């Protein structure tokens, strides 16, 4: 885990949007994170998966996907007569397009044998989609591109709108903490307040800092800042450097973004009747944003629970 740096934080907020706008080809919201010391920019995506059956595995996995840094082949044709295997493979993918599962959005190698217009990751998702509308839509293949499937068994979908966080000065934080303490004590004596401050636990201070940090924008579901320090909700289970594994390329991993517990309210996870919960999901990615070939590179996510917060 590389050293943290100061920098602006981008906040993500969930907003309702029409279903057509949330399709992958629309890509309504973007966060650009140029690498320090590099003039070249490249498209890069990070995908966080949360398993609905957490006892069967760790429950969380995160993957990074990106184009090579030298993107001089937007015509989808190799830029030279002797392209590298990586460039040639990528150009082929761009020309043909990657087929995604109509239900979940993962890679869809299977297609409907009747219309050959929609794709699925598995027989199970094809069966679900058939029962929930594709059986009727399949008879009108010319209109399939304009039909938005309504899969109410999935989590609700929202657009994530990005805003830059206003800076909170340290003296403001200290003043707010003190005002809250005064208000809760009424007419307590000054020496009693001093005594309380001395015995305030590290846990209390970390949770108070978390509350103060999000107070101005309590609806935030995501905090993005590549290379900055995350804000923790609890003093327990904070990772040390040894807890964050290095990237397979040999580089350290750095913090990139965190998912806030407010997202659970939007997902309506309680309706599943299963334990899907977290305090903070902190995602760490390769500091060099290395290219390990075409496809997806697994990164690291740290889960901090809230069971012991005050």
> What value does the mean pLDDT of the chain take?
74
Between the alpha carbon of residue 142 and those of residues 1, 89, 137, the distances in Å are: 51, 30, 9
Distance of CA 162 to the CA centre of its chain: 13
pLDDT of residue 261: 92
Give the three-state DSSP class for 196.
helix
DSSP state of 38: -
Mean pLDDT of 28-32: 60
Instruction: Provide the sign of the torsion angle of the four alpha carbons 188, 192, 197, 201, taken in this order.
Output: negative
Element (H, E) at 185: helix 170-185
Percent of the chain that is helix, strand, coil (3-state, to 5)? 30, 20, 55
pLDDT of residue 290: 84
> Among the listed ranges 147-151, 174-178, 224-228, 295-299, which one has the minimum average pLDDT value?
174-178
Mean pLDDT of 221-227: 95
Between 28 and 124, where is the model more confident?
124
Predicted TM-score (pTM) above 0.75: no
pLDDT of residue 12: 95
- Which range of 66-80, 115-129, 161-175, 281-295 scores highest in mean pLDDT? It is 115-129
Between 292 and 135, where is the model more confident?
135
Task: Quote the CA–CA distance of 68 and 50 in Å, as a whole number.
Answer: 27
Mean pLDDT of 159-167: 90
Q: pLDDT tens across 238-291, in order?
A: 999 999 999 988 999 999 999 999 998 888 766 655 667 889 999 999 998 887
> What band does 223 get if pLDDT is binned at 50, 70 and 90?
very high
> What Rg value do the Cα atoms of the chain yield, rounded?
23
Q: pLDDT tens across 34-63, in order?
A: 555 444 445 678 888 876 554 444 578 898
Residue 185 has pLDDT above 50, yes or no: no
| Exposure string over 87-119, b if 16+ CB within 10 A, otherwise e | beebbeeeeeeeebbbbbeeebebebeeeebbb
């Amino acid at each position: 885990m590389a050293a943290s740096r100061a920098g602006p934080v981008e906040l993500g907020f969930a907003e309702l949007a029409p279903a057509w706008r949330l399709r992958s080809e629309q890509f309504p919201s973007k966060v650009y994170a140029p690498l320090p010391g590099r003039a070249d920019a490249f498209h890069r995506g990070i995908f966080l998966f949360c398993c609905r059956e957490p006892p069967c595995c760790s429950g969380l996995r995160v993957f990074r996907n990106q184009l090579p840094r030298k993107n001089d082949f937007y015509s989808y044709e190799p830029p030279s007569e002797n392209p590298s295997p990586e460039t040639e493979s990528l150009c082929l993918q761009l020309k043909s397009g990657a087929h995604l599962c109509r239900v979940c959005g993962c890679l869809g190698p299977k297609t409907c044998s009747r219309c050959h217009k929609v794709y699925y990751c598995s027989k199970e998702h094809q069966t679900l989609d058939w029962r929930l509308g594709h059986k009727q839509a399949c008879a009108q293949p010319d209109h399939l591109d304009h039909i938005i499937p309504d899969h109410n068994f999935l989590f609700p979908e929202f657009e994530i709108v990005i805003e830059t966080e206003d800076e909170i000065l340290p003296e403001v934080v200290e003043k707010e903490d003190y005002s809250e303490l005064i208000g809760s004590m009424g007419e307590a004596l000054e020496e009693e307040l001093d005594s309380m401050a001395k015995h305030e636990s590290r846990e209390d201070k970390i949770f108070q800092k978390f509350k103060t940090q999000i107070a101005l924008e309590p609806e935030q579901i995501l905090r993005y800042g590549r290379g900055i320090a995350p804000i923790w909700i609890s003093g327990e289970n904070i990772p040390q450097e040894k807890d964050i594994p290095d990237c397979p390329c040999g580089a350290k991993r750095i913090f990139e973004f965190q998912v806030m517990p407010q997202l659970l309210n939007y997902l309506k996870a309680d309706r599943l009747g299963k334990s899907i919960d977290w305090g903070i999901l902190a995602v760490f990615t390769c500091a060099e944003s290395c290219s390990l070939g075409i496809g997806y590179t697994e990164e690291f996510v740290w889960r901090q629970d809230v069971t012991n917060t005050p």
